[in-house]
Amino acid sequence: MDSPIFFDEESARLHKEVPNSRYCRVKLAFDLDFDIGQSYVTSKIQDRQGNIKKLNIQAGTRGIKLQGDLIRAKSESDFPPFVFIITRVENSKTFIRKLPVLGLSDWLLIFEEDLFLLAVKDKYEEIEILG
């Protein structure tokens, strides 16, 4: 079943699970400008205070490592077991993935094959993370 509003079947199925943002412990949204490496893409992101942080997206086993100061987490109990990554591919189709939180890192690290490949092809410019 091909939906005109979703990137793929997984995105359509996950759409029903995405929590309302007011109930989330993690709420991040960023405009992205990618730099492409051999096996990863990076983007500088700016937090509410104007500080520059880094986002790294690469292929591999699905998961995310959150940057503690972006979500104001003091310990692992402060973040959810999963987060949803949401973007619009070429401003039309909604792309959604549910990723397990693997811990904290100095950078915001996302491990997801499709998201990486779409970034390399410059198919999206912003990302939202809810959990």
What share of the chain has pLDDT > 70, as a percent? 95
Element (H, E) at 23: none
- What's the distance, CA 94 to chain centroid? 13
Beta strand extents in the chain (DSSP E only): 27-31, 34-36, 40-46, 52-58, 63-67, 82-89, 93-105, 108-111, 126-130
45, pLDDT greater than 60: yes
Measured distance between the N- and C-terminal CA atoms of the chain, rounded to whole angstroms: 27
Chain segment 70-114, per-residue pLDDT in tens: 887 666 777 889 999 999 998 899 999 999 999 989 899 999 999
